[in-house]
Amino acid sequence: MTRRKIIDITALVQKEHRIQIPIEVRHRFKLEPKQILWLGVQPIDRAFVSSEDFFARLSVDGRITVPWEARLKCGLKPGEMVRVYLYL
């Protein structure tokens, strides 16, 4: 399966390791709640940490939850800035 990077955004890791997808992105690409997305995250402040790709479900309020494997590999904590890659 080939991947095609659609957009990269900067986001804040919120409480319970959730990331908000901006409403402009959701409307532009017609992302629906409960849709499965292919994402990648990379911490901004640590240049030598590779991005971690995973699948996540978009919730009704436009957030996704980062799986614990990706949190552990990237060392993500709430309040940290990350770069989010959205693939289709």
Per-residue pLDDT of the chain (88 residues; tens, 9 = 90+): 566 767 889 999 999 999 999 999 999 989 999 999 999 999 998 878 888 999 999 999 999 999 999 999 988 999 999 999 999 7
Domain architecture of the chain: domains with CATH: 5-87 (2.40.30.100)
pTM of the model: 0.86
Instruction: Give the integer Cα–Cα distance in Å for 7 and 60.
Output: 21
